[in-house]
Structure 1
């Protein structure tokens, strides 16, 4: 499945809006990196990461771009910022191209802390429960998805017992498109989503990741480019999943579904057509984005398109604001 498609430069960059559409402001880019990793740290502050070893520290329209020495060839598709100073950047790629780097001084210096030693492995996403406990999801090896766990803020990782993860279907894999294919819920819930094997699936654990149950979604995954790309838990316990076909960004078909609290099956949700690679929920606001643009539902209402600008990732910072990132270093700032 082809889903994987010290500082040497650091520039303070203050941009003026280059475009605004439907509440989305897009400042001028500070790098040409394909940005996919995204992690807000409070208020208007956030971190983003992407290809060619680039990471971006932002605050509103201000962007500080850094390129990590020794990681210039890596594609940092995953990112988790504990705070403004302490950040983990995860690269995605086959074998040793999957790595984890850390800064504790706001990006001035970076240290590689671990490298994937499985030549068949490929890391897709990283997510944390709190400041110590976290997960890395990797594509299947030995017939099952790789789920790594840390309880020391990422210093050491161990694979969860393989028998706790159901066997993967032929050609099934996760998408390293937005660092969104793993989600952490309340009371120990962990979920990840997949594609490429007929119906897109969500693997759900209600016990802290020990045992997962695979559930089908109504999102089609009958080609390597199709499936579920991202999941998120809402505060009320609803589990949202989005996806589509990245090779056909404007394609029709189910691109959004949800598992209501206590429900036994995912149900499709009406939404504007097009491929969605990331989703975020806060309060009664749900926002999703992808190469087809950005859609939003507020107060339980219908999803409406607020921008046609292509993006890769989105994170709500409040019920009325979000930060997005995407191709060619694009940063987006949405306000209701």
Structure 2
């Protein structure tokens, strides 16, 4: 019988224990459920304040870090599907409605009243996502019209919106998904769009140079239900997730990473998420969280390998702009807190 080295055995046991603790220390804790709204809009302001928006005109707010929520139905908009929201404080927020009419509303009193800032009854207008560089400068992305993606811009905190003159090209059968409000992301210098359908691409806009660039993604596509659904930007790399929402257990070609510099160069994970993911969020360092109808997954190595941490279906996840709070939300008014 071979003698075992106690030091080697102890070291190995310690490493395995650390790995096991790391995986199981990540918890998703449900705080609200069974509400008459499917949530896709989520904006976390800080460790106390967050807003959500959803179908049937519902919005909800929390001021205790997601433990309790106050629900309201926006008067006069009970049939609206508010697919995205951008909150700036516990008083001020902008919501965007997908479908017809295409709407943008703003509140400055914590959601007690809302003012209409944009309204289009033409069914060609379908809003997918909204993002802001800061509290004043933001964009709304819409599906293609006449082979161009639709894009609105505000420079006064959502008070007024104007159509961008230099619009990006859209290929035949290409569109974006209004699944989590994260097919559009903005950094200090660039605007990023990820698409799906017949094609799956990352479309990048240099805000200061006014130049668009296009890159094909190694994400499953060719069907209306397939493509890239979400993009998140970290310090060293970006991550894109998606898949096929009609076959949400399919794991092939549903995620990709790219280095911030040089760019673009896409990599496929060694071990990807466990199925379709509608949203990905940068948590810290090389840690990203993703979620979808197939469950939630986490990576600690910048997207090279993913671990499934929860089976529940969610549509969106988001981290505080100022703080560490991370929330998830989904259908049936489902809201949860992510702990690690």
- TM bucket, shorter chain: 0.7 to 0.9
Quote the residue 2:313 is aligned against: 310
Instruction: Confirm or deny: 8 A CA contact 1:138 1:146 kept in the other structure.
Output: yes
Quote the residue 1:9 is aligned against: none
Quote the residue 1:15 is aligned against: none
Instruction: Confirm or deny: 8 A CA contact 1:184 1:232 kept in the other structure.
Output: no
1:224-239 map, 5 Å: 224-236=224-236, 238-239=237-238
Instruction: Confirm or deny: 8 A CA contact 1:282 1:319 kept in the other structure.
Output: no
Instruction: Confirm or deny: 8 A CA contact 1:255 1:273 kept in the other structure.
Output: no
**More strand as a share of residues:** 1
Quote the residue 2:253 is aligned against: 254
Instruction: Confirm or deny: 8 A CA contact 1:102 1:113 kept in the other structure.
Output: yes
Quote the residue 1:202 is aligned against: 202
How many residue pairs match? The answer is 310
Cα distance in 2 between the residues matched to 1:266 and 1:232: 14
Cα displacement string for residues 85-134 of structure 1 (whole angstroms, at most 9, x for unaligned residues):
1011111014xx21011111111111222112544121111111111110
CA deviation after TM superposition for structure 1 residue 326, in Å: 0.2
1:1-336 map, 5 Å: 23-29=27-33, 31-58=35-62, 59=64, 60-94=66-100, 97-116=101-120, 118-162=122-166, 164-166=167-169, 168-186=170-188, 188-198=189-199, 200-208=200-208, 210-236=210-236, 238-261=237-260, 262-269=262-269, 270-284=271-285, 285-298=287-300, 300=302, 302-317=305-320, 321-336=325-340
Cα distance in 2 between the residues matched to 1:91 and 1:43: 26
Instruction: Confirm or deny: 8 A CA contact 1:230 1:278 kept in the other structure.
Output: yes
CA deviation after TM superposition for structure 1 residue 320, in Å: 6.4
Instruction: Confirm or deny: 8 A CA contact 2:231 2:240 kept in the other structure.
Output: yes
Cα distance in 2 between the residues matched to 1:299 and 1:126: 28
CA deviation after TM superposition for structure 1 residue 173, in Å: 0.5
Secondary structure of 2:175's aligned partner: coil
Say if 1:327 and 1:291 are closer, same or farther in 2 by CA, change over 3 A. same
Cα distance in 2 between the residues matched to 1:56 and 1:145: 30
Cα distance in 1 between the residues matched to 2:254 and 2:241: 5
CA deviation after TM superposition for structure 1 residue 45, in Å: 2.1
Larger Rg: 2
TM-score by length of 2: 0.86
Secondary structure of 1:138's aligned partner: strand
Cα distance in 2 between the residues matched to 1:273 and 1:31: 27
TM-score by length of 1: 0.87
Cα displacement string for residues 124-161 of structure 1 (whole angstroms, at most 9, x for unaligned residues):
11111111110000000011101111111112212222
Secondary structure of 1:91's aligned partner: strand
Structure 1: 5+ residue stretches without partners? 1-19
CA deviation after TM superposition for structure 1 residue 282, in Å: 3.2
Say if 1:280 and 1:291 are closer, same or farther in 2 by CA, change over 3 A. same
Structure 2: 5+ residue stretches without partners? 1-23
